[in-house]
Structures are given as C-alpha cells and as structure tokens.
Structure 1
C-alpha cells in the first residue's frame, strides 16, 4: 500500500546535547513483512507495517532511546489472546492463505496489544532506569511556549477486517525549555471496547534525567 503523494523523509533536530531523529518511510514490502512475522513467530502481521519508521532521542555521548515497530511487536504476547469477540474468528480467517497456512498457524494475540515503552540505546553507556517520585509537570506543558519542532510517526496500523482499528504512533514536541513525547497504542473493536496504552516522556533542559510515565490499559 502506498499513500498518494507520500515522500520518505528524515529530519534531525538538536536540543542541547540531544539529537532528535525522525524517519518516515513507505509501508514495508510484503516479502519483508513475511520475514519479520517468521522472526517474531507470528502467523501474520498488520495491514500497514512501517518497519523503517523511527523516532530517536540520542545524547552526544551515544546513549538514548528510540521507538520503532519491530521492538514494539516483540512485546506482543505470543499466546491466544484472552479477548474473544464475534469478529475474532472472521478476522483471523481473512488472514489465512489456504490449508497449508492452517497447518503452521501459531498462537498469538490478534489485537497486537503491546506494552512497549521504547528501546534503550548505547553500548558502553546507557540510560539508567530507576523509580522516581517526581511527576511530569503538566502545568509547564500547558504554558504557551513556542513549539520549535513537532513530528508524529506512525509505526503500524490495522483496520481489523473492518471491525475496528488499531495503531501505534509516537509524537514529540520540542519547546525552548523542554521536550515531551507521547507513544500511544490504540485499539478499538467496534461495539466491544476501546483500549489505550500510553507512554509519556518528558525532559527539561536544565535536568540530567528524563521522566517516563506509562499508563497501561486505559479503557
């Protein structure tokens, strides 16, 4: 699938010692999708996979965090999902490719629900994750600051065979004093449920740490 008028792009933006990189590419080719599905031990993947899309925040020292579709899918449970609705069988049947497919089908969560919170970068140095009592200052985020940089990246999306929609997106906005990132997994099954898993990342220019707040299972 190719979106009319879409052009691949890559942008870099500097915020103090941090470099923000955003890459937006075309939908993965079917051969690459099938190869990735096999690597992840899933019988199929989503309608729209953007395996080369990425949003990366990297320090000049080399460590950082990035968000991409492949690692997000690694956090999907590889067992039959507990969520069973009337459309589940029909949706899974739409992905079959004949009798041979039925012989090799493996259990997996057909909603692709992921609790992915990002991938840490760095070999010798890495971000250290520790519990903190600090919270993201929402009042500062409400302040009318100039937005220096903004981007939204789609990592994957599926219409669940016309029974709803699911998507994983990550977006970031940079102000003079801070940057704020939101990673959101969204699932809507028509007439059944709405689910959201959010990860929010916030960093102030005069701080030596980032705050990450994950909210799982919003319904």
Structure 2
C-alpha cells in the first residue's frame, strides 16, 4: 500500500516541501489501527515517516539522482528506551549505531539540551559519532512532549557539506510536533512524570549519594578531544546544567473533620532503581510495575490516634497484597479464570511463567487498604439496623457541601505493550460522611477489560452496638467486558474508568464492614 495514488508535486522551495510533508505525516500517523498496541503503531508510523521524508528530501535535492548517489544518505529516529539512553528506531539509509548515550554526539547532545542542531560539517563537531563515513552535514531536532521532555530525536544526514539550513530545522520541528501529538513513545509517560530520566547518569541521581560525572563512561571510553580550527569555530551547544540532585521528600497534606484524619502524601516521581530493588527484595518477586509512585499514599484514621491509621493505600501495600494473593486458592479458582494472562494471540507461544512465576503480571489483588495491626473485615449482615450498606442518597445529594476531595495514582504498567494496568484511589469528604474508591483496572488490548473496585463509606457518628465501633462499610465488585471486536465510535483505550465501570458486567459483588483488632494483651 502506498501513501498516495498520484505522484507528489514538484516543489520550488523548502517551504513548499515541508508544508506538503507535514500534511502527509499527519495523514500517516493520525488514525492508525485501533487494534494495534500503541508501540506497534509507533513503529508503523515512524517507519512510514522515515521512508516518506528520506525519499522526498532526496527528490527535492536531486530529482534524477540514482539511489546510491542520493544527497540525503540517512533519515531516521532515535528513541528514549531507557533512562539516559537512546535506541535506534525506524530509519532509511545504511545500518546505524544501535544505541547512543545522552550527551554523546549530535543526537545525544540534542536529547540532553532539548534544542535542535544544524551542523554544516560534522567532522568539526566535538565527539561526532560517525555511523556512515559518507555523512558530511547533519540536522537533528528533538521530539518534545507537553512538559518539554525529549522522547526521541529526528536525525538527518547528508553527503554534502552545508546541506541543511534553518528551513530544514523548522520544517523538521513541525514534523516532530505532529509525531508527538499522535504517537505513544516508549518512555513518554515516565518522562512526563519524571523529566530527570532523560538526563545522563540518571541511575546515580536517586538519593544524591553517588558521585556523578558529566561525561564519565562505565566502559572507560576516552573523552572526545575537541577539534579546533582557525577558520571555523566549534558549534555552540546549549547544555542543561548538570547538578547533584538530592532526593525529594513527599509533600504531606493533613485534613481533620468530625473526629477523622485523612493524610495524603504526594511525590512527583516514580521509584528509583534502589527503591525498586529494595521493594523487590522484600516482596520476593522480580516483576514490578513500569511506573510505581511510592511517594503517593492516602491514610485514614481516628484523629484521636494520629500515629495509627486504620486504612493506608500505597503501592508498597498493594504490591505486597498482590504477591500474597497470587498464591491463594481464591485467586486460582475465582479471579484467574475471569482473565487469564497471557491471553492475546501474540502471547500464546510465550511461556510467561518463565518470566516471573511468583506474580500475576496484572498484579490482581484483594487489597482493601487495611492496616492489619489495627482493623480487619467481616461480612456485612443483611437486615441489621445498625449495620447498613452504603448510603447512596448521601453520595448523590448535590446540595451537601464537599469539604475536600482528591485523586492518588499508585501504579501504571503497559503489560509489555499488550494493554494497561492502573491502580488509583479517589476520596471525597462531605460535611456528613467520607467516601473512598480504590480502583484496579486491567485492559488487554483487543481482548478484555477487567476491573476491581472497592468503595469505602462512613457516615460521621454512625457506630455499631454494643461494640461502639464506627460503622465503615466496604463494597467490593469485580467487573469485566469484552473488547475483542471493534465498535464504531468507541475507542477502548480512551474510555475513562468511570465509563468502563458503568458499562462492564458485574461478576462479583460483596459487602464487608470494618472491625477493630483487639490490642494484644
């Protein structure tokens, strides 16, 4: 299948060329298959864009040139695939370097600074990485997401000195903007949360204890010697100042109302490598979510005993519960049959048990946020006056003032590009009650959505006789819906959790209530 059924027009200027290219790129990457994973669409889109730009740039420079004499000899992409490291993406031209460290060569320099570079003579650029000896000039522009983080770079080489200009830079920046709008780059979500992942030496940033070097290489590569000439000054390069970053502490917000204290902590970064390793060691598993917000928590407990909350929602508690739940009979007989992982056709030949046999890849759980030293759950009895269920009338009453509310993200993972798993907590405190919603959502693309929801409700002042324990009720529900077949006008990946909850079938519904654990005598 080709891009068009008619030949591309003849251009009289680079402005006309890039005006046309931007429109063609929009057509190539807008509306890719909804049955593909985001990463599959990324490769499809970038491959076509590389081919389009490679041949159209060459046709503009030399309409009648043979393929081996093309003026643009390389066009492609380098994508952030790991902290501080670019990996080779789709390209047109000779085989190229498979990885480039941030801060190294033209591509690494642009990835570090976030600023485009036009170099008229690559041999005069300090530290130039020569993948093709025929390359003489080069233009590199960053692909930027909303917070200004670089997720990839576009790299174009020419066999002619001084081949690229400001027009090329600006035109390619417009192409990059279209790509950022429509494609899901490998580290986009992680960089959106923690831009420091794009800096060189990121693994040493956590905690600020390890010494960092601007150009230190683990394999001992010598530093490039700057090239100076009397005729041409070295190109000016804008660099991000490299500083030693101290580990941030979470922000803490405490709210007290009607004898209850709600404490929320938030930290705008994911777990560091050291933190992840410590958690893996404590859990006895090697598979943790791609994005885990260890600094985000919500605690609820009596104001009279502030140091001992009854409920605590955190990714560490969730992971610990999931690792334990995976080994239970209930998981094997109830939850596992509802959604078997792996399930999609692409996984059928892969034995996922060899990856990590100690954890369910979707981290399904029976997590209620309980602090076990303080409270436990018992089934809520029917027809008991002082043990009612959730008062939906209170929750639906729009006349009741909402004192405060919030949302806490705990974790996110793309299931190895096969879907999405998220865990989050919402809370709402009114003048007469508080309400908490814990939600664990699993989406397997082109197959099924599975969701576990736990609603926690307490009307202030409500207690149970004769114990006098505050009556806190829990509603646990498991939901599922098939997304194996496309539906006109429905984008399963864009559907909100609230919409999924309303549309999915309820597989299981159980009600519980909280009991206070007796202090050890």
- Mapping for residues 46-85 of structure 1, pairs under 5 Å: 46-59=289-302, 60-61=304-305, 62-76=308-322, 77=326, 82-85=340-343
Residues 214, 175 of structure 1: alpha-carbon distance in 2 compared, 3 angstrom cutoff: same
Instruction: Tell me, in whole angstroms, the C-alpha distance in 1 between the residues paired with 2:284 and 2:346.
Output: 23
- What is the alpha-carbon distance in structure 1 between the residues aligned to residue 368 and residue 440 of structure 2? 10
| Structure 1 counterpart of 2:473, from 189, 211, 217 | 211
Write the deviation string for residues 28-60 of structure 1: whole angstroms up to 9, x where unpaired: 102211221232222221110112221000112
Q: Which protein shows a greater Rg?
A: 2
Matched, 1:164 2:411: no
What does the per-residue CA deviation read over 1:5-46, in whole Å, with 9 as the maximum and x for residues that have no partner? 9x9532111111111001111211022112212322222211
CA distance in 1, matches of 2:365, 2:291: 16
TM-score in terms of structure 1 length: 0.82
Aligned residue for 1:10? Answer: 252
Equivalent residue for 1:116, pick from 356, 367, 374 = 367
- 8 A Cα contact 1:91 1:161, kept in partner: no
Structure 1 contact 34–44 (Cα < 8 Å) conserved: no
Q: 1:142 aligns with which of 390, 396, 410?
A: 396
Equivalent of 2:278 in 16, 29, 35: 35
Alignment check: 8 A CA contact 1:66 1:121 kept: no
| 1:154 corresponding residue in structure 2 | 409
Match of residue 183 from structure 1: 438
Distance 2:397 2:459 in 1: 14
**Contact 2:455 2:476 (8 Å CA) reproduced:** yes
Please give the alpha-carbon distance, in whole angstroms, between the structure 1 residues aligned to 2:377 and 2:430: 24
The SS at the match of 1:36 is: helix
Q: Secondary structure at the match of 1:31?
A: helix
Residue correspondences, number: 206
How many Å separate the matches in 2 of 1:168 and 1:49?
A: 10
Aligned residue for 1:216, secondary structure, equals strand
Higher relative contact order (CA 8 A, sep 6+): 1
Contact 1:159–1:165, Cα closer than 8 Å, also in 2: yes
Contact 1:184–1:196 under 8 Å retained in 2: yes
Question: What is the rounded CA distance, in whole Å, between the counterparts of 1:78 and 1:42 in structure 2?
Answer: 13
User: Comparing 128-137 with 107-116, which one deviates more in the overlay?
Assistant: 128-137
- The Cα of 1:89 is off from its aligned counterpart by 7.1
Richer in strand (by share):
1
Distance 1:127 1:49, change over 3 A: same
**How many angstroms does 1:110 deviate by?**
1.2
CA pair 72-91 structure 1, distance change in 2 beyond 3 A = farther
Local SS of the residue matching 2:402:
coil
Deviation, structure 1 residue 154:
0.6
* Kept in 2: contact 1:51–1:69 (CA 8 A): yes
Distance 1:173 1:92, change over 3 A: farther
Which deviates the most, 61-70 or 175-184?
A: 61-70
Residues 152-195 of structure 1 show CA distances to partners (whole Å, capped at 9, x for unaligned) of 10111111233211111011001111111000000101011101
Return the alpha-carbon distance in structure 1 between the equivalents of residues 372 and 259 of structure 2.
15
Counterpart pick for 2:377 among 129, 137, 150 = 129
Name which of structure 1's ranges 137-146 and 166-175 shifts more when overlaid on structure 2.
137-146
**CA separation in 2, counterparts of 1:154 and 1:182?**
12
